[in-house]
Amino acid sequence: MQREDSQRMWNKILAIFIILILLSSSVSASIIDTIWGLITKPLKGVLKSWEHVLKNPKHLITHWGKHFAHEELEEKGEKSRTFAYVFLLGLFTRTVTKDISENINRYILINPDPLHEGVKSTVYSFIHLLIPFYVLALVSLGAYILFLSTSPKGRSRAKSMVSKLIIGMILVTISPHLLNFFFTLSENVTKNILTQGEEEVTDAVGTYTGVMWGSFWMTVGAIYGVNAMGKIVTEIVTRASGMAYDRYAYEWVFRYGRVRSVRLLKIISESLPKLKVEAEPGRTIPMLMLSITLFIGVYGILAFRYLMVMFFTLLFPFTIFFLCFDPTKKLGGTLLEQLLLWTFVQEFYAIILVAIGTGMIMLPEDLLGYGFGIWPLTISFFDLAACFTLMLGPIILFMLLRKLLPPL
Amino acid sequence: MRMDSRIKILIVIGLILVAMSISTAVRIPKIFGESHETGFNRMGIIIWIAKRLLYIWLSASYGTEGLNELKANLSEIVMMNPSITTLSNLMVIVIKLVFALYIPAIAFLGFYILFLSSSPEGRAEAKSMLTKLIVGLIFVSVSPQLMNLLLTVSEGLTSSILAPTAKGVFTKAWDTSIGATPLDLRLELSGLKGLHFIATFIEIELGFYTFLFFMILVWGAFIFPILIRFFAVSVFIVLFPLSILLYSFEFTKALGRTMLEQTIIWTFLQVINALIVLTVVQSIISLGEDFMKVGLGPTTMPVIPLVGCLMFAVAPLFIIRFFRGFLP
């Protein structure tokens, strides 16, 4: 009770502080002064005479509007803020694209190691957990044979269930090794697909990174305007001696910058004053969403797949038990199917990558140009579609092949 | 814990006040650009910063509160089940209703035997339906005990899965994905909170989107699914006698099967939740912490912990979607 009271009082004090802080703009000067300043400040240039204002009310309004729009952008350090935004987004894009082009094969090929110390001990603890279930299943089967099964058919079925349960027991004890065998098989198949279509995979990854960079440059274009962009690019390109403008410009700045950071700082300091911020970063949220969707679409699915495979790996002893016991056969079937499918997402991913790469190679050159945005800040529709295929393809294949096992 | 948050509040307010007093006394360098006519609006800048700091602190504390609660009571929250004794009053009402429904069901069967089933086979089938109904009647009368048994099994399984789990690894995964800011009295800027901090200073709108993200991560991914499960299990407990009736009556068997299946699935989602904790822990241990960690500096995204945290929300959906039709 007392605690609640003190909590409430604390909340009140806090609320008063917050209100005080928010009102402190008017605390610093008298309120009338502030309001008067707000009205007269933008009118300094216009307020020649009241007649003039009354004659041209439109002029007054536009001037005032201009003033506030200007205030909005000018007073809040938009240059440093937008630069920080673009820099961080560039950093993010660069690390993601670099990571994906270096490690995509590794990410696709990774499977949980069922023979790893921790995983193995967990699986064995689950096997211990299964013992009472086995006892219960055997006792219920025995009771069924003794008291309930009147027909010879029922009895023989019950007996076959006993043998199945015993086979299941043996399989459960070697379940980590079974899984290891299965994962190795799947990994090898995937590796084969990836090595067969190495060129295509590189091409598909290139498409993905291209769209990421396209999104980044569109952000830059939207914030600084295409003209200002042109200035910076010219600056960079003239210094890079013959380096053509494309998505590698940022890459180049980064690499070059690491070697000669003084030079880079000079470029930045020279081009920063030339930057004219034309939009708040809030306007680039669609592009940001695109970047983040692409990021989540690839990394999220790969990580989620890994975790799901790990989940069903840990459940594998239960899967075998459920499969071998007739009343829970359906449940076991679903569990096994899910394990197989989530493991096969690996293959699906490899196939989709190769398919995208082949598709991009086969597409006529002149079709590739179609896209949205203003040249050179465009993202090709085909590239975008390829990226979304990369994200959705494995899921679609997963859904299509859901009834993988024959009905149990 | 209470003390900590008070210190934080005081520090934030103190910082703002100090900044305000400095701003009126000392000239701040013109890092924020300058106004075209009237010179530099120092007060405006301070208010600008103070607003953002307040916004960050207020919004981030929503996530932090939930996170602290979760970290302290992870096992309790996962093991949370509605108590049968509290719900038994409601259950008794439903049982009485179900008993009342048995009368028309048995009468209907009687009519079926008398008038409709002309073949001996049909009659035998109708009689077996009667047996099933009567067995159902027995189960309905012990349904609170049955449900209690189900919940006990689920709780036992959950606790035996959670007991040996290194929960510290899981809470650390949370910590790395949520991260910290200087407002948490730590000299770092990392995870979603760090992103929120930077994004808010770039623009409040961007800050709002990142805020949504970690709000979803803590409240949407953990607390919501678990609470939804809690309420769903409560509903299914109350409806359990009705599900048994529907399942034992031949003509409504399909509906009864769905309801019973849902009861079982929602009850055992607890076990799935415990398994997810275990899965994330094992994945992080076997992969190492640096695997799939993308980005530099404050834009670093620890993908495996993040996705692991989101699994709480997504995996149960998969389970509910795919694990249907297991009852005969």
Q: B5, B202, B286: best mutation site toward chain A, by most A Cβ within 10 Å?
A: B202
H or E segment at A372? strand A371-374
Q: What is the pLDDT of residue A303?
A: 92
A95 near A250, Cβ under 8 Å?
no
Q: What is the pLDDT of residue B328?
A: 76
Distance CA B308, CA B293 (A): 13
Contacts of A273 in chain B (CB under 8 A): none
Which two tokens mark B238? 């109350």
CB contact under 8 A, A14 and B206: no
Q: In terms of CA atoms, which chain B residue is nearest residue A333?
A: B326
The arithmetic mean of pLDDT across residues A243-261, rounded, is 50
Q: Chain A: nearest CA to B96, how far in angstroms? A: 31
A367 near A357, Cβ under 8 Å?
no
A316 near A174, Cβ under 8 Å?
no
Which two tokens mark A10? 């604390």
Q: Chain B: nearest CA to A96, how far in angstroms? A: 6
Please determine, for the modelled complex, whether the ipTM score is greater than 0.85.
no
Q: What is the pLDDT of residue B33?
A: 44
More confident call, B69 vs A370: B69
Give me chain A's average pLDDT, please: 77
Is residue A45 predicted with pLDDT exceeding 80? no
Q: A304, A309, A395: best mutation site toward chain B, by most B Cβ within 10 Å?
A: A304
Residue A373 confidence class, pLDDT cut points 50, 70, 90: low
Q: In terms of CA atoms, which chain B residue is nearest residue A77?
A: B32
Per DSSP, A325 falls in state S
pLDDT mean for each 10 residues of chain B (328 residues): 62 68 46 44 67 85 81 86 88 90 86 75 78 88 91 91 81 83 77 85 82 78 86 93 90 90 92 90 86 78 86 83 79
Contacts of A77 in chain B (CB under 8 A): 31-33, 45
CB contact under 8 A, B296 and A91: yes
B28 near B39, Cβ under 8 Å?
no
Which two tokens mark A341? 């499918």
The residue behind tokens 């809040």 is: A76
Contacts of B48 in chain A (CB under 8 A): 76
Q: What is the pLDDT of residue A242?
A: 42
pTM over 0.80: no
Nearest to B37 among A44, A122, A328 (CB): A44
Q: Which residues contact B319 (CB under 8 A, 6 or more apart)?
A: B265, B269, B272
Q: What is the pLDDT of residue A33?
A: 53
Q: In terms of CA atoms, which chain B residue is nearest residue A310?
A: B279
Residue A185 confidence class, pLDDT cut points 50, 70, 90: very high
B135 touches chain A (CB under 8 A): no
Bridge partner residues of B180 (DSSP): B190
Contacts of A310 in chain B (CB under 8 A): 279, 282-283
Q: How far is CA A233 from CA A95, A226, A240, in A?
A: 21, 10, 10
Q: How far is CA B5 from CA A14, A402, B185, in A?
A: 12, 50, 10
Q: Where are the domains of chain B?
A: 2-85+131-322
Helix (H, G, I), strand (E, B) or coil at B56: helix
Q: In this structure, are strands B293-294 and A371-374 parallel, antiparallel, or unpaired?
A: unpaired
Q: What is the pLDDT of residue B317?
A: 83
Q: What is the pLDDT of residue A257?
A: 47
Q: What is the pLDDT of residues A313-329, one digit of tens each?
A: 999 999 999 998 888 88
Is residue A408 predicted with pLDDT exceeding 80? no
CB contact under 8 A, B276 and A282: no
Query: Can you list the alpha helix ranges (DSSP code H) found in B203-223?
Result: 204-215
Angle between helices B224-248 and B303-322 (to 10 degrees): 10
Residue A245 confidence class, pLDDT cut points 50, 70, 90: very low
CB contact under 8 A, A338 and B322: yes
The arithmetic mean of pLDDT across residues A159-167, rounded, is 86
